[in-house]
Structure 1
């Protein structure tokens, strides 16, 4: 200030002529300096400005959508929730509302508004920093796409220059389209009018009425402050202001404005992200992200069409949780009675898993990997390694069928024991009852290195001679070990692998009791091979992936492998139907349709299973604790716990499905047998059973009338 005062004092002291010359000189010099400085500053500011031509190459971050089999949105992958629309896809009221509120002269100016810039500069000078305001739609677009969100005069200059460049390279329609797809609407990182319409109104932007368009246009300057959910009064005022502007610009009539102002406000937040099937969505992500890369999956606007059926998934989730809450409580109470008030497991720790596959294609129709995805992202359908228990027995029975056994073959359900010789487990010869077993192991009682295994059944009974069919229906452990001993555990392992089990399995006698570790997905996939006439198809979840230009990136091609003959597969399935009709799976009989299946309970009741199938669908259910803790209820079995909720789920799933029986392949014949002896039934037999056989293997001897 002192320098300026001294300068004016010096000028005042000069003679008039000299004063005029000196003043002109000083003013010219000052102007030259200012122009030079302005030029240098402008050059510095504009040195790193991007070219507006790049707008042609600009690809916004787009939302990837996951659809179920009926094109319902299941989930979305996104960093910014956005959809790209053409201008013609956006209703005229939406376009007019935004133009009226944000830039009424949009179709008349050439990128900038001199009056708006002047007002903004005046505010900037008063605040010494750049303030928001005075920007045209084109300026906002240039700022949102190319510039950092800082409020400085330098950024304002860049914004103006870019706006001028954009206007000279793009039409008004192209600019408005880009803007309407780019503008930020808050609400969890939502961009563009389509994403906003989905969130605020739960509908496509094409379906918005005038009042809804006005509301969206009104919240653009500050979506959080003007949100109809958090600040309905402010949002209502903003809607009124937009309608008022639209009226002033003659976009609408007074009556249209009055009617729109009477429209109700949104009160419910809509979201595209389904709370259902999170384990299935993660199952897909783990497959697709390595294939397409994180950038394309999360920002590429893909459309992923899947095999999931929400009509099956949603009731399955609800029903499973209902039952697990009950069993969780019962298990806790049992532990409290045995351990005191502080049981060794916490409430809510009991877990479950459920999956449905299409028999013919392997398509995953429903998948529940656990009770709460937010608490545990571990997918028990695909990642768990659990003992299968008796659900493993069908592999033993298939191996037996391949070795010439028929459903009527008599096998032995009697006591036996095995000892370990340091290399293999061997049958203890002569150990045919409890007394002989006790005598045989007595000499080794004090030998710590001596290992003996005495298998038993759940009920502690021995049924002696029994048909192959009846042994499966009653899930007899000793009969299963009998078969493994005679066939060899290696053949059982081979059958399991051919059917669809991927994991390494130990070829030991106990494999007949399901002691090997498997996942529910492996087991259900393997069972589907039997239901599919011996043809194995890999489970899959993705039908088709389409990019944001409509190009198909991938489409599922089924890979079928014939692993068993249709005849042997049918025999096994027919025996598994007996499990539901007369055996441990009889609870599923209330579905009143042909169901084949197998119950399972693992060692120490750590795992409960049921896997069942129709000619079209195969579904598996599992229940247990993640840490392998016993369920602490000695009378619990897969048939008594898991089967009821499996049945209730399938009752919902199958209610619209036609009732069909498993097709009988050529080469299978039916004869009436005595179910106790497996021989041909006489007319006066008390019990008769129409049983299936591969042609040429059916029994030829009649039963003894006195049996």
Structure 2
């Protein structure tokens, strides 16, 4: 009885429980909420008892959220540790669990995986001891060494950390993640944490129906509701090239068409200090190959032959063609457009790639499957909106080349998902924006990474390094329960053997000099009769010599 009375009078203590699902779904749910308010009004939405069915797959959504956060944190490590909080005053982080008293921490903050603020108590070569209120934590060198030193003067690059004392001193106030608790030694194992300045987005959908399975519009919704998947307009760089090459296929080019990879120079029509301004585009790494095939130019993401292709097609034709793929951005009627100088959203680019994944059909993204009122009446129901914007044959050929990008081009990292996929990287000048868009027959996923205020992310932070690992992390989980499917080959495709010179192969060609290539039926190279005739003569001569030698024996 006394225990009951004591319990009754005892104040109720609330412990905050972190709901990872709410955080993971925030961008998607907010996008739908705004749509519903615009269509039905806030009163109906909040008081009308609506039932809203989303296209979201919760497992995909949580995996997308975690993959994006993980990738952004890894990039933050490479960009370098910026220093202790008391030496880095600006801090926009509202999630950090701390009180006004630096020597104490709230009880409800001491859950594993939480980010807390602590004070460095001791620094040695192997570890850093951190005071966490009444508790103690250890930052081990194995974790510290994964970071770079970002306490730099302007224009310097982050450098490797060789000793904890380079970035820590006693009394430093730092942020750490509670990784584990050692009950025997009574301390927390910690991971160094720093609020990222860079951000990004991930979007995944069914390329056949347009149903959006997951959308993560940024690192943390609580800090910024700006949805980088649908609101941020950034330059796609080389991820725009497949649209250019698709336009070329529809204009009569083939995968074995010869392009020229050589230096180019163009007058811009403007002057600098009285001199005519000259634009001299370059390939990544400043290398040139010479003659290359259409396929190789896209697989290696070569800028110079792409510009040559754009000259033949004309920028106006490329712009008009991209409109069919759902690209609505303003585009300059010059050659830079073919290198991705326009500004687009991730959703636009994903929908455009969906054309290749969906046999030439453009599909509108679907977030809401169905809305019912409180009585069960259906107010709206979504069905796929499909539009054939290019042929099945063109879509197949582009998917085939983009599979080659994964096998031997700039998308090689994507082989890590362990099944056939197609994809393309995108990197803008000075590594300001990084993209990777890739797909399997059942799932199309795009990733964008960059600063909200555009600036350099760091040397070599390309689409392959900054964006593709996020795509891989998400796709590995997403494909786990999906069957492996091949991209279907339409009947209007002819596959033949081609000599490395570009002509049709003959029986006399060495195996190392020939390969198979796909063509729209009727566009494949015809057999060169002079080469074929000489080959047949050589074959007959060899057979005659063989017969005579056997007769003599």
**TM-score of the aligned structures, taking structure 2 as reference length:** 0.72
The equivalent position to 1:612 in structure 2, one of 438, 454, 469, is 438
Check the 8 A contact 2:329/2:342 in 1, yes or no. no
Taking structure 1 as reference, are residues 340 and 472 closer, same or farther at Cα in structure 2, changes over 3 Å only?
Answer: closer
Check the 8 A contact 2:55/2:368 in 1, yes or no. yes
Higher strand share: 2
In 1, Cα distance between the equivalents of 2:424 and 2:274? Answer: 39
Aligned counterpart, 1:320: 68
Check the 8 A contact 1:307/1:365 in 2, yes or no. yes
> Given the alignment of the two structures, is residue 339 of structure 1 paired with residue 87 of structure 2, yes or no?
no
> Given the alignment of the two structures, is residue 451 of structure 1 paired with residue 280 of structure 2, yes or no?
no
In 2, Cα distance between the equivalents of 1:589 and 1:390? Answer: 20
Aligned counterpart, 2:96: none
The equivalent position to 1:570 in structure 2, one of 383, 389, 396, is 396
In 2, Cα distance between the equivalents of 1:329 and 1:366? Answer: 26
TM-fit CA distance, 1:673: 2.3
Taking structure 1 as reference, are residues 398 and 680 closer, same or farther at Cα in structure 2, changes over 3 Å only?
Answer: same
TM-fit CA distance, 1:501: 1.4
The equivalent position to 1:371 in structure 2, one of 219, 235, 259, is 219
In 2, Cα distance between the equivalents of 1:364 and 1:492? Answer: 28
> Given the alignment of the two structures, is residue 644 of structure 1 paired with residue 469 of structure 2, yes or no?
yes
Greater radius of gyration (CA):
1
Taking structure 1 as reference, are residues 452 and 520 closer, same or farther at Cα in structure 2, changes over 3 Å only?
Answer: same
Aligned counterpart, 1:550: 376
TM-fit CA distance, 1:632: 2.4
1:32-63 Cα shifts (integer Å, max 9, x gaps): xxxxxxxxxxxxxxxxxxxxxxxxxxxxxxxx
1:105-161 Cα shifts (integer Å, max 9, x gaps): xxxxxxxxxxxxxxxxxxxxxxxxxxxxxxxxxxxxxxxxxxxxxxxxxxxxxxxxx
Equivalent residues in 2 for 1:79-158, closer than 5 Å: none
In 2, Cα distance between the equivalents of 1:271 and 1:310? Answer: 14
In 1, Cα distance between the equivalents of 2:74 and 2:454? Answer: 19
Higher helix share: 1
In 1, Cα distance between the equivalents of 2:486 and 2:156? Answer: 51
Check the 8 A contact 2:425/2:468 in 1, yes or no. yes
1:485-532 Cα shifts (integer Å, max 9, x gaps): 110111111222111212222221001111110111100011001211
Aligned counterpart, 2:520: 694
1:428-466 Cα shifts (integer Å, max 9, x gaps): xxxxxxxxxxxxxxxx88525x22211001110111100
Check the 8 A contact 1:467/1:677 in 2, yes or no. no
Check the 8 A contact 2:23/2:221 in 1, yes or no. no
Equivalent residues in 2 for 1:234-633, closer than 5 Å: 234=8, 274-332=22-80, 333=148, 336-337=151-152, 339=154, 347-421=195-269, 447-448=274-275, 450-633=276-459
TM-fit CA distance, 1:621: 0.6
Secondary structure of the corresponding residue to residue 24 of structure 2: coil
Between stretches 685-694 and 609-618, larger displacement belongs to: 685-694
Secondary structure of the corresponding residue to residue 696 of structure 1: coil
Aligned counterpart, 1:74: none
Secondary structure of the corresponding residue to residue 609 of structure 1: strand
Taking structure 1 as reference, are residues 677 and 301 closer, same or farther at Cα in structure 2, changes over 3 Å only?
Answer: farther
Aligned counterpart, 1:654: 479
Q: Which runs of 5+ in 2 are unaligned?
A: 81-147, 159-193, 533-553
TM-fit CA distance, 1:273: 7.5
TM-fit CA distance, 1:680: 2.7
Check the 8 A contact 1:335/1:632 in 2, yes or no. no
TM-fit CA distance, 1:549: 1.4
Check the 8 A contact 1:499/1:530 in 2, yes or no. no
Check the 8 A contact 1:358/1:616 in 2, yes or no. yes
Taking structure 1 as reference, are residues 342 and 578 closer, same or farther at Cα in structure 2, changes over 3 Å only?
Answer: closer
Secondary structure of the corresponding residue to residue 233 of structure 1: helix
In 1, Cα distance between the equivalents of 2:447 and 2:495? Answer: 32
Q: Count residues in correspondence.
A: 424
> Given the alignment of the two structures, is residue 669 of structure 1 paired with residue 479 of structure 2, yes or no?
no
Aligned counterpart, 2:172: none
1:375-417 Cα shifts (integer Å, max 9, x gaps): 1110000000101010000011011101110000010111111
Secondary structure of the corresponding residue to residue 517 of structure 1: coil
Aligned counterpart, 2:502: 678
Taking structure 1 as reference, are residues 497 and 402 closer, same or farther at Cα in structure 2, changes over 3 Å only?
Answer: same
TM-fit CA distance, 1:700: 2.5
Aligned counterpart, 1:48: none
Secondary structure of the corresponding residue to residue 22 of structure 2: coil
Taking structure 1 as reference, are residues 704 and 288 closer, same or farther at Cα in structure 2, changes over 3 Å only?
Answer: farther
Q: Which runs of 5+ in 1 are unaligned?
A: 1-227, 239-264, 423-443
Check the 8 A contact 1:334/1:632 in 2, yes or no. no
Aligned counterpart, 1:97: none
Secondary structure of the corresponding residue to residue 369 of structure 2: strand
Check the 8 A contact 2:24/2:216 in 1, yes or no. no
Taking structure 1 as reference, are residues 272 and 357 closer, same or farther at Cα in structure 2, changes over 3 Å only?
Answer: closer
TM-fit CA distance, 1:421: 3.3
Aligned counterpart, 1:76: none
Taking structure 1 as reference, are residues 270 and 599 closer, same or farther at Cα in structure 2, changes over 3 Å only?
Answer: closer
Taking structure 1 as reference, are residues 329 and 382 closer, same or farther at Cα in structure 2, changes over 3 Å only?
Answer: same
Taking structure 1 as reference, are residues 704 and 515 closer, same or farther at Cα in structure 2, changes over 3 Å only?
Answer: farther
**TM-score of the aligned structures, taking structure 1 as reference length:** 0.57
In 1, Cα distance between the equivalents of 2:436 and 2:444? Answer: 11
In 2, Cα distance between the equivalents of 1:568 and 1:470? Answer: 17
TM-fit CA distance, 1:558: 2.1
Between stretches 498-507 and 477-486, larger displacement belongs to: 498-507
1:289-334 Cα shifts (integer Å, max 9, x gaps): 0111001112222111010111111122112211211211212357
TM-fit CA distance, 1:341: 9.6
